[in-house]
Chains A and B, each alone.
Chain A
Amino acid sequence: MSDVLVLIEQTKGEVKKVSLELLAMAAKVGSPVAVVLGPGADSTSGLLGEHGAKKVYVDSNEIYVNQIVVPTVTALTSVINELKPVAVLVPSSADSKEVAGRLALTCNSGVITDASDISADLSVTQNIFGGATIVTSKVTTGTPIITVRPNSIAPVTGGATAEVIALAVTHESGSTSVTNRVAVAKSGRPDLSEAAIVVSGGRGVASEDGFKNLIEPLADLLGAAVGASRAATDAGWYPHQFQVGQTGKTVSPQLYLASGISGAIQHRAGMQTSKTVVVVNKDPEAPIFDLADFGVVGDLNEVLPDLTARIKARK
Chain B
Amino acid sequence: MGVTALKICVCIKQVPDSWAEKKLTAADNTLDRAAADRVVNELDEYAVEEALKIVEAGEGEVTILSVGPVEAADSIRKAISMGAHAGIHIVDDAIHGSDAVATSLVISEALKNRDFDLIIFGSESTDARMSVVPAMVAARLNLPQMTFAKKVEVSAGALTIQRQTETGYDEVKSSLPAVVSVVEKINEPRYPSFKNIMAAKKAPLETLSLADLGVAASSVGQANAWSAVSAFADRPAKPAGTKVVDDGNGAAQLEEFLVTAKFI
Q: Is the Cβ of B18 less than 8 Å from the Cβ of A140? A: no
Q: Is the Cβ of B145 less than 8 Å from the Cβ of A68? A: yes
Q: Is the Cβ of A101 less than 8 Å from the Cβ of B100? A: yes
CA A131 to CA B22, docked complex, whole Å: 11
Q: Is the Cβ of A136 less than 8 Å from the Cβ of B171? A: no
B194 contacts chain A at the CB level, 8 A cutoff: no
Which of A133, A191, A266 makes the CB contact (< 8 A) with B166?
A: A191
Which of B169, B246, B255 makes the CB contact (< 8 A) with A184?
A: B169
B99 contacts chain A at the CB level, 8 A cutoff: yes
| Interface 9-mer from A78-86, A208-216, A298-306 | A298-306
Q: Is the interface of B mostly helix, strand, loop or mixed?
A: mixed
CA A129 to CA B99, docked complex, whole Å: 17
Q: Is the Cβ of A94 less than 8 Å from the Cβ of B42? A: no
Q: Is the Cβ of B251 less than 8 Å from the Cβ of A306? A: yes
B152 contacts chain A at the CB level, 8 A cutoff: no
Q: Is the Cβ of B168 less than 8 Å from the Cβ of A197? A: no
Contact residues in A for B252 (Cβ distance below 8 Å) = 306, 310
Q: Is the Cβ of A197 less than 8 Å from the Cβ of B43? A: no
Q: How many residues of A contact B (CB 8 A)?
A: 91
Q: Is the Cβ of B253 less than 8 Å from the Cβ of A296? A: yes
CA A54 to CA B167, docked complex, whole Å: 31
Q: Is the Cβ of A101 less than 8 Å from the Cβ of B133? A: yes
Q: Is the Cβ of B184 less than 8 Å from the Cβ of A247? A: yes
Q: Is the Cβ of B243 less than 8 Å from the Cβ of A178? A: no
Q: Is the Cβ of B168 less than 8 Å from the Cβ of A183? A: yes
Q: Is the Cβ of A132 less than 8 Å from the Cβ of B22? A: yes
Which of A137, A272, A291, A310 makes the CB contact (< 8 A) with B230?
A: A137
Contact residues in B for A276 (Cβ distance below 8 Å) = 261, 263
Which of B144, B245, B251 makes the CB contact (< 8 A) with A297?
A: B245
Minimal beta-carbon separation of A118 from chain B (angstroms): 13
Q: Is the Cβ of B226 less than 8 Å from the Cβ of A110? A: yes
Given contacts A97-B132, A246-B126, contact A136 B246 (CB under 8 A): no
A166 contacts chain B at the CB level, 8 A cutoff: no
Contact residues in B for A95 (Cβ distance below 8 Å) = 165
CA A85 to CA B165, docked complex, whole Å: 30
CA A98 to CA B167, docked complex, whole Å: 18
Contact residues in B for A104 (Cβ distance below 8 Å) = 100-101, 132, 136, 226
Q: Is the Cβ of A110 less than 8 Å from the Cβ of B225? A: yes
Contact residues in A for B43 (Cβ distance below 8 Å) = 247
8 A Cβ contacts from A139-182 to B: 139-142, 175-182
Interface centre among A110, A123, A131 (most CB of B within 10 A): A110
Contact residues in A for B134 (Cβ distance below 8 Å) = 98
CA A212 to CA B136, docked complex, whole Å: 40
Residue of A nearest to B257 (CB): A294
A41 contacts chain B at the CB level, 8 A cutoff: no
Which of A98, A177, A298, A311 makes the CB contact (< 8 A) with B132?
A: A98
Given contacts A289-B243, A302-B246, A311-B255, contact A134 B171 (CB under 8 A): no
Residue of B nearest to A65 (CB): B170
Given contacts A177-B173, A295-B242, contact A131 B235 (CB under 8 A): yes
Q: Is the Cβ of A68 less than 8 Å from the Cβ of B163? A: yes
Contact residues in B for A141 (Cβ distance below 8 Å) = 226-227
CA A277 to CA B238, docked complex, whole Å: 11
Contact residues in A for B258 (Cβ distance below 8 Å) = 255, 278, 311
Given contacts A98-B132, A98-B135, A310-B251, contact A182 B235 (CB under 8 A): no
Contact mask for chain A residues 252-274; partner B; CB cutoff 8 A; 1 contact, 0 none: 00110000000011100100100
CA A98 to CA B164, docked complex, whole Å: 14
Contact mask for chain B residues 98-120; partner A; CB cutoff 8 A; 1 contact, 0 none: 01110010000000000000000
Q: Is the Cβ of A298 less than 8 Å from the Cβ of B19? A: no
CA A277 to CA B172, docked complex, whole Å: 39
Contact mask for chain B residues 8-42; partner A; CB cutoff 8 A; 1 contact, 0 none: 00000000001111111000010000000000001
The tally of CB-CB contacts under 8 A between chains A and B is 259
CA A294 to CA B178, docked complex, whole Å: 49
B155 contacts chain A at the CB level, 8 A cutoff: no
CA A304 to CA B166, docked complex, whole Å: 28
8 A Cβ contacts from B226-255 to A: 226-235, 238, 241-246, 250-255
CA A276 to CA B260, docked complex, whole Å: 12
Contact residues in B for A112 (Cβ distance below 8 Å) = 227
CA A51 to CA B29, docked complex, whole Å: 37
CA A296 to CA B257, docked complex, whole Å: 11
Minimal beta-carbon separation of B48 from chain A (angstroms): 16
Q: Is the Cβ of B250 less than 8 Å from the Cβ of A296? A: yes
A307 contacts chain B at the CB level, 8 A cutoff: yes
Q: Is the Cβ of A140 less than 8 Å from the Cβ of B226? A: yes
Residue of B nearest to A310 (CB): B255
Q: Is the Cβ of B135 less than 8 Å from the Cβ of A69? A: yes
Minimal beta-carbon separation of B232 from chain A (angstroms): 5
The 8 closest A-B pairs by CB, nearest first: A298-B246, A101-B132, A110-B226, A306-B251, A110-B227, A141-B226, A184-B168, A98-B135
28 sampled A-B residue pairs with Cβ under 8 A: A68-B147, A97-B132, A98-B145, A101-B130, A101-B135, A102-B135, A102-B136, A102-B139, A104-B132, A105-B140, A110-B226, A111-B101, A133-B233, A135-B29, A135-B232, A136-B230, A140-B227, A141-B227, A175-B145, A186-B167, A243-B184, A265-B20, A276-B261, A292-B241, A293-B241, A294-B241, A299-B246, A303-B251
